[in-house]
Amino acid sequence: MTGPLAGLHVVEIANEISGSYAAKLFVDLGAEVTKIEPPAGDALRRWGPFPGGVPDPQRSGLFAYLNAGKRCVTVNLTQPAGLTEARELIAAAHVLIEDFVPGTLDRWALGPDDLGRLNPNLVLIRISGFGQRGPWRHRPVTPLTAQAASGWISARDPDRPPVQVGARISEYVAGGYAALGALTALRMPPTGRVREVDVSQVEALLSTLPYPMLMARRMQHLGLPANLRSAPMLGVVRAADGWVGINCLTGQHWLDVCAMLGLPEYGEHQIAIMMGGPERDEFFGKAEPVLSQQTVEEIVELAQALRIPAAPVNDGATVLDCPQYAERGFFVQSGGPGWSFRRPGPPFRFSKTPVPQPGPASPLGMSPGPWAADARPLCTTEGPLPFAGLRVLDLTTFWAGAYLTCYLGAFGADIVKIESIQRPDGHRYSGAFAYEGDDWYERSPIWQGTNLNKRDLTLDLTSPRGLDIARRLAADADVVVENFSPRVVEQFGLDYDALASLNPDVIAVRMPGYGLQGPWRDYVGWALNFEQTSGMSAATGYPDGPPCNPQGPADPIVGVHAAVALLAALEHRRRTGEGQLIEIAQIEVAACVAAEPVIEYSMTGVVPPRRGNRQRGYLQGVYPTADDGGWVALSLPDDGHLDHDVFDELVTGWTRTQTASAIVKALQEQGIPAEQVITGEQMYDGDLIGGQLDARGYYEEFVHPITGPHRYPGWPFRITPGPARHHRTAPPTLGQHNDEVLAGLGLSADEVASLRADRVIGERPLNA
């Protein structure tokens, strides 16, 4: 195989999506993965979907997607002979991935101490609900209650319970972070003991939200409601033949939408309409009839011609016909003899180290055997931080790309972020208000949360001198990252070919919304578009209601996958000296974690309905409490003997008479997973999740030069032995490091002064 991680050996002992998905990403990167199953087989073999709806553990679509290319072996870990077989596999592995409740491996004599005697250089990935450490480590948890505890369950309708994100998307998130933690740990020098990566599923979900804890504190400081959230405009609306998402990100987008709909008189009322009330009802009363006369394709084409972020709301059927996915060949055939289906391809593309499409997973019942090749040593870095010495030029804007570079900077990389005083990073204006004073653009908690650990340089890339400086930085960089639409960096001559002519071994990470090729390559879009195009939105919402945007996770999920791909490419460069282009199309990453609906449609011809807060295998829901606006989520195994509607009625009758804290306490004491549905202002609260987060050191305080001290969220895993902190420096102010970076390039004080006088650099936006 030609993948960047060819020769890496991974053992997986997992019974959930998170562990299986983490190992799948290693397959996508060319590693050799052996999956250990119990004699009855992985539970996902019995989940389906199945061809024609007929259960068959050898033909489970979700299992086949998550385990394509793996060598699946049957081992009974409760028997001495089985443990011996497992230990032989682990002894020759670089990575072991497990996702059982804490303590399970220890009962099998496969805990860190046991593994250390077996393979002291092993990286052990442990995925669990709340992590291996902290007061909540043994707390029972299900996907629904994990969403509740992390803020993923959102109010969609004031007259109905808040609703979860659908399609089991949340279960993939921890798997992505686990792969990232593993590749980070593999870069660190050996210590003679097992290196453990402790992944918390709840922290992983919390890490993909747009910093609601920071926003809540900021709103409280301004005297506003802590969880004030406006609806995205226009959001998901009906067209003549389906649903379409129209997602205004700027004031100009709104003006253009009003013009497109023939309603220019509403151009000055954007805020009032976003916040609800009579203006909103009046506007939609006029807009909806106009939209209902046009097809989804017509609306998207017209909106995109006006540079308005609009996208179809695809489901498991329509996503297969989406022209951008189709032309890029993203959905591939999979399956085995006598059956096949279509599934997402890998979430990243490499120009120099492509990985062939993996074959089907091994059938149930295979016996263990030796590895196909001997283990090889992996790269190491000198010093305690895994990215020390790595030089990164950050050309990103908004969230997805900046999330990647924030992570690299946290663990030692030197990140130089480029903005300009003509066009600062647009994320600076998210949650910042012009009435707050001259430095208002420095106050966005969303921008701050994604831009710690960086040096900030302003450069006008439309000027020859500014562009020349950017090229000098690129020539000296190990990595260049950007996430604009393709034509932006290409018009500046900063695409991969141009970068490689300056620096042949550079790794360029390009993260366009729709990809570098295809009929939609130049479409504009942001997170909501990618959630809609990929099928994430169609799977979220009430069964009898419209699709709903998850509203947040797409950007950081993309950033995590980009980081996984980059670390693999860095390993390939260490061995060969060869750089390359990595392409991360954001709609493709989103489709990878929303895979089940398209698999089900492909196998059965049925578009799965939205399920609200329900999930097969559980009696569960989100229920009202005696607290004003308080809700709890709870789950019980479904043995098939109780009607779910009756269950909901019985539970609601009880919960509405109790406080949320009393409900959770009573149920947790009986081992029943239950959590309060938390919102932003509760995410620092010691009585709720805050106590567990503080025990694990999830938050770290830094002092911002303008807004003062803040507790910033870190990463959802701890590496032991490994870095003691999540971050290194506070987020920078605009142009804070102009003098420092330019002096490092050899520019004199007079040259820097000239650049400042000519507004090539600066420390304030021109329009501020």
pLDDT for residue 431: 83
Q: pLDDT-derived band of residue 371, with 50, 70 and 90 as boundaries?
A: low
Q: Would you give the DSSP letter of residue 421?
A: S
Alpha carbon distance 558, 526 (integer Å): 12
Digit-coded pLDDT (tens) for 399-416? 999 999 999 999 999 999
Digit-coded pLDDT (tens) for 647-676? 999 999 999 999 999 999 999 999 999 999
Q: Would you give the DSSP letter of residue 25?
A: H
Taken as a whole, the chain contains a residue count of 768
Ramachandran region, residue 64 (left: φ > 0; alpha: ψ -120 to 50; beta: rest): alpha
Contact between 722 and 714 (Cβ < 8 Å) = no
Q: What is the mean pLDDT of the chain?
A: 94
Alpha carbon distance 87, 76 (integer Å): 12
Q: pLDDT-derived band of residue 230, with 50, 70 and 90 as boundaries?
A: low
pLDDT cut 70: percent of the chain above it: 98
Residue 636 to residues 144, 153, 621, Cα–Cα distance (Å): 11, 18, 10
Alpha carbon distance 39, 160 (integer Å): 44
Digit-coded pLDDT (tens) for 58-92? 999 999 999 999 999 999 999 999 999 999 999 99
Q: Determine phi and psi for 545, rounding to 5 degrees.
A: -120, -175
Alpha carbon distance 574, 185 (integer Å): 16
Q: Which of 373, 336, 369 is nearest to 69 (CA)?
A: 336
Residue 1 has pLDDT above 70, yes or no: no
Question: What is the H or E stretch that residue 604 is in?
Answer: helix 595-604
Q: pLDDT-derived band of residue 231, with 50, 70 and 90 as boundaries?
A: low
pLDDT for residue 274: 84
For residues 153-172, give the mean pLDDT.
Answer: 94
Domains located in the chain, CATH noted = 9-209+353-377 (3.40.50.10540), 391-592+711-758 (3.40.50.10540), 613-691 (no CATH)
For residues 268-282, give the mean pLDDT.
Answer: 86
Higher pLDDT, 542 or 232: 542
Digit-coded pLDDT (tens) for 139-159? 999 999 999 999 999 988 888
Q: Which of 130, 105, 99, 118 is nearest to 23 (CA)?
A: 99
Alpha carbon distance 352, 573 (integer Å): 10
For residues 520-538, give the mean pLDDT.
Answer: 95
Ramachandran region, residue 730 (left: φ > 0; alpha: ψ -120 to 50; beta: rest): beta
CB-neighbour burial class of residue 679 (10 A; exposed 0-12, middle 13-18, buried 19+): buried
- Which residues lie across from 480 on neighbouring strands? 393, 508
Residue 375 has pLDDT above 60, yes or no: no
Distance of alpha carbon 528 from its chain centroid, rounded? 13
For residues 521-529, give the mean pLDDT.
Answer: 93
Residue 255: count of CB within 10 angstroms of its CB: 18
| Half-sphere CA count of 700, side-chain side, radius 13 A | 17
Question: What is the H or E stretch that residue 254 is in?
Answer: helix 251-260
Contact between 505 and 541 (Cβ < 8 Å) = no
Residue with tokens 């002979």: 81
Residue 461 has pLDDT above 60, yes or no: yes
Alpha carbon distance 597, 313 (integer Å): 13
Q: pLDDT-derived band of residue 433, with 50, 70 and 90 as boundaries?
A: confident
Q: Which of 650, 625, 626 is nearest to 636 (CA)?
A: 650
Q: Is the peptide bond before 49 cis (omega within 30 degrees of 0)?
A: yes
Residue with tokens 């009579």: 278
pLDDT for residue 372: 56
pLDDT for residue 295: 97
Residue 180 to residues 44, 177, 566, 740, Cα–Cα distance (Å): 23, 5, 10, 31
687: its two tokens:
């009585």
Q: Which of 487, 317, 408 is nearest to 728 (CA)?
A: 408
| Half-sphere CA count of 576, side-chain side, radius 13 A | 20
- For the ranges 178-187, 530-539, 550-559, the lowest mean pLDDT is seen at 550-559
Distance of alpha carbon 529 from its chain centroid, rounded? 15
Q: Which of 407, 394, 542 is nearest to 456 (CA)?
A: 394
For residue 5, which amino acid is it? L
- Which residues lie across from 719 on neighbouring strands? 197
Q: Strands (DSSP E) along 111-241, which ranges?
A: 123-128, 195-200, 234-239
Residue 482 has pLDDT above 60, yes or no: yes
- For the ranges 372-381, 443-452, 682-691, the lowest mean pLDDT is seen at 372-381
Contact between 478 and 392 (Cβ < 8 Å) = yes
Q: pLDDT-derived band of residue 270, with 50, 70 and 90 as boundaries?
A: confident
Alpha carbon distance 624, 627 (integer Å): 8
Alpha carbon distance 332, 346 (integer Å): 10
Contact between 666 and 106 (Cβ < 8 Å) = no
Give the torsion sign (CA, 553, 558, 564, 566).
negative
Contact between 137 and 222 (Cβ < 8 Å) = no
pLDDT for residue 221: 85
| Half-sphere CA count of 489, side-chain side, radius 13 A | 28
Reduce the DSSP state of residue 247 to 3 states and report it. Answer: strand
242: its two tokens:
């389906």
pLDDT for residue 665: 96
594: its two tokens:
């929303």
Alpha carbon distance 594, 21 (integer Å): 12
- For the ranges 86-90, 178-182, 274-278, 596-600, the lowest mean pLDDT is seen at 274-278
Residue 354 has pLDDT above 60, yes or no: yes
Residue 380 has pLDDT above 80, yes or no: no
37: its two tokens:
């199953």
Rg (CA), the chain: 25
Alpha carbon distance 151, 148 (integer Å): 6
Residue 316 has pLDDT above 60, yes or no: yes
